[in-house]
Structure 1
Amino acid sequence: MPAPRPTRKRMFGFVSAFVLGALIAGGLVFLVTMPSSTERAVDRIRAEEALRDKTQIKELTQLARDTRDRLVPVLQGLDRAMPADGVAGPAVVTPADVEAWRKAADAAVQAFADPPSGETATNVARSGLASAVQQIATTVDTYATSRDLTGPTRTAVTELAVRQRADAVFTWSIGATALDAVNIDAGYGHQHVFLPASGDGVLTPDDEPEGNHES
């Protein structure tokens, strides 16, 4: 004799049990996979830090450009006063010239004072540029000191100033390269904020156009 078919009531019970089980299972999966309040807070902090770092990169790039424009005349003056190649004789430099260089260098140092805390790569770029600025200020002071000396002592101190200038430009090239890299990562593209430089070891900008996003 054939088995009796399930009644409508029994079928409804089966469907209800299935749906209820699916809902419970889905709810359990949601509860297990739902980010915790701590995870959501961490994600929010990371997003805020990324946005803040992008702002810092933009501001640092503009600061670097302003500083470069301020320091180029200083370096050009030092190049005339202390030709690195030793071929041309030193140009006539007045105390007013030296004071102007010192003011420009000191202003550049102050512009990098009290830096904000950012991501590691941005901090590295900022530190490289700030260190270079301080070295340029020291170069001006060393050269100013040499002007009050005579004989071999003056020659030795002037040579020290020449080396300090070379180290400053090299350090700036490191910071500028790091700045270029963080700009690319931030989506701003290449930003070549380099000082005029020549010599062994000095990093120079690549051939990519300004703003190009290719690394």
Structure 2
Amino acid sequence: MSTRTAGRPGSGRPPGTRSPARGTAPGRGGGDATSSPVRAGAASPRPARARLVVPLTAALVGLLVGVGLGGAAPLPGGSGASPEGAPSAAADDPLAERVAELRAEAEERDAEAYDRLVADVQGLLPELTPVVEAAAVHAEPGAPVPSAEDAAAWHAVATEAASVLEDPPSAGTDVNVARAAFAASLVQLEAATTAFQQAAAGATGAGDAEAAMRPAVLSLQGAAATWSVGATQLDAVSVARDRGHVHLYLPPVSGSGALTADPEAAP
């Protein structure tokens, strides 16, 4: 009796020949070489750039969340907002501190200049008021020429008053405008009294008194109008500084159009 050798039908391989195991490849030189299997649990290496993704992504998310909540989220390595009550970075900024010092010094100088201007004008008014009142009489139509003695006395007072407001101190714009108006008014008053002297001496060559005094009258009117601008400005500055109204106006001069104190605003 014949026996059959166990083999896979139609395989074409001689009996007893094994098929190569899966995962193996024929070796060079006709032999079979088995590939090294992948070790279980071994992690494959990641590129270096992948290590930066997570931290950068977290920082970006934190920034967006902080902006959405109305605040700036601190970036890595940066400083965030100071807690309530803690000194901010600006408090330690030398430039900010210097700016604050200069601002405080300017405010102090401005306050001193305001006080000085009020004191100067208050001191000048008792001397200037009788001069303007007397000169204003000769500004009326048909008024006579003043005496040479009166005109000379007026001129001396005006010249002395003008020197008081020379060399103004540093101050803010509001105080500077008032001081400049007072100073310009005294220059015009000095010119007016000089013109009155010339009219009294007959040096104008005019045929009548009115023509002779016309330059003096125009300068006197300008002095009164300019002084009223300074007085109005000083009153506004005083009110703005919670010092109350201060009315330091000269007597009116006919035809000057000068401003006057508000009768309803008590000084």
TM-score category of the 2 structures, normalised to the smaller one:
0.7 to 0.9
How far apart are the structure 2 equivalents of 1:71 and 1:32?
Answer: 56
If the length of structure 2 is used for normalisation, what is the TM-score? Answer: 0.62
Aligned length: 183
Whether the aligned pair in 2 keeps the contact of 1:135 and 1:164 (CA below 8 Å) is yes
CA offsets 1:46-72 (integer angstroms, 9 cap, x no match) = 122112211211110111122122111
CA offsets 1:86-142 (integer angstroms, 9 cap, x no match) = 3xx437x44332222111111101101111121111111000000001100100001
Which amino acid is the alignment partner of residue 123 of structure 2?
D
How far apart are the structure 2 equivalents of 1:186 and 1:197?
Answer: 28
How far apart are the structure 2 equivalents of 1:161 and 1:27?
Answer: 69
Distance 1:52 1:101, change over 3 A: same
Whether the aligned pair in 2 keeps the contact of 1:147 and 1:154 (CA below 8 Å) is no
**Of 209, 212, 225, the match for 1:157:** 212
Whether the aligned pair in 1 keeps the contact of 2:125 and 2:248 (CA below 8 Å) is yes
Question: Are 1:74 and 2:128 counterparts?
Answer: no
Structure richer in helix, relative to its length: 1
Partner of 2:260: 204
Partner of 2:232: 177
Tell me how far 1:78 sits from its aligned partner: 1.1
Specify the SS of the correspondent of 2:140.
coil
Q: Which has the larger radius of gyration?
A: 2
Q: Which runs of 5+ in 2 are unaligned?
A: 1-78
How far apart are the structure 2 equivalents of 1:188 and 1:95?
Answer: 43
Partner of 2:184: 131
Whether the aligned pair in 2 keeps the contact of 1:83 and 1:90 (CA below 8 Å) is no
Which amino acid is the alignment partner of residue 202 of structure 1?
A
Specify the SS of the correspondent of 1:167.
helix
How far apart are the structure 1 equivalents of 2:134 and 2:256?
Answer: 21
Percent of matched pairs sharing the same residue: 28
Partner of 1:98: 151
Partner of 1:14: none
How far apart are the structure 1 equivalents of 2:81 and 2:207?
Answer: 86
How far apart are the structure 1 equivalents of 2:261 and 2:226?
Answer: 14
Partner of 1:192: 247
Question: Are 1:57 and 2:111 counterparts?
Answer: no
CA RMSD of aligned residues (A): 2.4
Tell me how far 1:146 sits from its aligned partner: 1.1
Partner of 2:221: 166
Whether the aligned pair in 2 keeps the contact of 1:54 and 1:186 (CA below 8 Å) is no
Partner of 1:121: 174
Partner of 1:213: none
Distance 1:37 1:155, change over 3 A: same
